[in-house]
């Protein structure tokens, strides 16, 4: 159980918007040292200025880095700078993510490299760089506590159609996080792990192509990709649960050492149905069973 956040250090990727920004805002109010990481300079600058004002009142510090979380060298250099400034961070939020849609065979190699680079390799780098530091700190101090939160998605527990690359990246993050939890339990009871699986929450992820790197350019979008983009925009922007509410759930989960974090627990019925199909060796369920009109609309658009 972690109840005192004041004076502790948190590293947050994707801190310029969405869950990363809201977790930073909460951390600032709690008097935490914050390491903010984002690939978008203006968003990072704005987030840094905002949380600095709050953090300075609390007597804490803010460090910010503009970098690409998929880049091993940039992440390694950041990790060394964090350790030099604060020592091992107590909390790591591997949150940076990008969205992508379209029929799975229509995605290019560069689409795969971009999405897996950010969504999966970003988490891998955060785990491999900071976990050894945290374990070393825990070994030296029996009272030291830490926690790692990896952002996946409900798409990491389900397989919605026309979102294949994204689904694959998020399933991998769920698996990585569950394994991290089990591995940590083998060697320490001082460091916890959680996986965040949000559903549709307005965060800006549906517009993540704004930060797609020039060396991984997108080709002219296919019909399925345009349809996927439009449906994603509509679904994300219609979300009723806010990123701030999800950030509070994250901090509550850390305090309670809760592994699975859901923004929309009611969606777990679909996860249960999927698992029952697996156990009963049935074919995958109809993803539109509860909203057949959406399925009809998608099929009609793709077959037009």
- The whole-angstrom separation of Cα 268 and Cα 264 is 8
In the 8-state DSSP scheme, what is residue 87? S
Residue 214: the pLDDT is 80
- Our CA angle for 99, 105, 109, nearest 5°, is 65
The residue with tokens 């990727």 is 13
- Orientation angle between helical segments 41-58 and 18-29, nearest 10 degrees: 20
Judge whether 79 and 133 are in contact, CB under 8 Å: yes
CA distances from 160 to 100, 108, 120, 183 (A): 12, 19, 18, 30
179-185 contacts at long range (C-beta below 8 A, 24 or more positions apart): 180/127, 180/131, 180/148, 180/150, 181/259, 184/131
The residue with tokens 């700078």 is 81
Q: For the whole prediction, is pTM greater than 0.85? A: yes
Which are the contacts of 277, defined by CB distance < 8 A and separation ≥ 6? 283, 284, 285
Q: Residue 181 is encoded by which pair of tokens?
A: 């939890």
CA dihedral 127, 22, 240, 166 (to 10 degrees): -30
- Orientation angle between helical segments 223-237 and 292-303, nearest 10 degrees: 150
Q: Which domains does the chain carry?
A: 9-270 (3.40.50.720)
Hey, CA dihedral for 215, 221, 224, 227, is it positive or negative? positive
Q: Residue 124 is encoded by which pair of tokens?
A: 């891998």
Q: Nearest-CA neighbor of 100 among 246, 218, 255, 256? A: 218
- The whole-angstrom separation of Cα 166 and Cα 100 is 6
Residue 211: the pLDDT is 74
Judge whether 75 and 126 are in contact, CB under 8 Å: yes
Q: In whole angstroms, what separates CA 90 from the centre of its chain?
A: 18
Q: Is 46 exposed, middle or buried (0-12, 13-18, 19+ CB in 10 A)?
A: middle
In the 8-state DSSP scheme, what is residue 222? P
Strand order in the sheet with 9-13: 62-66, 33-38, 9-13, 91-94, 146-151, 191-197, 260-262
pLDDT tens string, the chain, 304 residues long: the values are: 788 999 999 999 999 999 999 999 999 999 999 999 999 999 999 999 999 988 877 888 999 999 999 999 999 999 999 999 999 999 999 999 998 899 999 999 999 999 999 999 999 999 999 999 999 999 999 999 999 999 999 999 999 899 999 999 999 999 999 999 999 999 999 999 999 999 876 555 556 667 777 888 888 888 888 888 887 777 666 667 888 999 999 999 999 999 999 999 988 999 999 999 999 999 999 888 878 888 888 898 898 7
Which are the contacts of 103, defined by CB distance < 8 A and separation ≥ 6? 162, 164, 222, 224, 302
């Amino acid at each position: 159980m972690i109840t005192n956040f004041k004076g502790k250090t948190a590293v947050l990727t994707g801190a310029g918007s969405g869950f990363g920004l809201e977790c930073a805002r909460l951390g600032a109010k709690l008097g935490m040292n914050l390491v903010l990481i984002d690939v978008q300079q203006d968003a990072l600058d704005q987030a840094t200025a905002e949380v600095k004002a709050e953090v300075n009142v609390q007597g804490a510090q803010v460090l910010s880095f503009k970098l690409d979380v998929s880049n091993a060298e940039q992440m390694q250099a950041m990790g060394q700078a964090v350790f030099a400034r604060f020592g091992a961070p107590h909390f790591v939020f591997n949150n940076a993510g990008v969205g992508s849609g379209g029929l799975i065979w229509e995605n290019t190699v560069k689409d795969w490299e971009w999405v897996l680079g950010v969504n999966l390799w970003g988490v891998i780098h955060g785990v491999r760089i900071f976990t050894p530091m945290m374990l070393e700190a825990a070994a030296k101090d029996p009272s030291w506590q830490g926690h790692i939160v990896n952002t996946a998605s409900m798409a990491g527990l389900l397989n919605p159609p026309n979102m294949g690359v994204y689904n694959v990246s998020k399933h991998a993050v769920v698996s990585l996080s569950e394994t991290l939890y089990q591995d940590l339990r083998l060697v320490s009871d001082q460091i916890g792990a959680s996986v965040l699986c949000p559903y549709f929450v307005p965060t800006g992820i549906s517009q993540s192509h704004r930060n797609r790197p020039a060396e991984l350019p997108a080709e002219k979008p296919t019909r399925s990709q345009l349809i996927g983009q439009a449906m994603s925009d509509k679904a994300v922007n219609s979300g009723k649960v806010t990123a701030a509410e999800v950030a509070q759930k994250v901090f509550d989960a850390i305090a309670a050492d809760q592994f699975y974090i859901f923004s929309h627990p009611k969606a777990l019925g679909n996860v249960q149905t999927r698992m029952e199909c697996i156990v009963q060796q049935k074919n995958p369920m109809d993803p539109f069973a509860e909203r057949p009109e959406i399925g009809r609309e998608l099929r009609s658009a793709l077959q037009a």
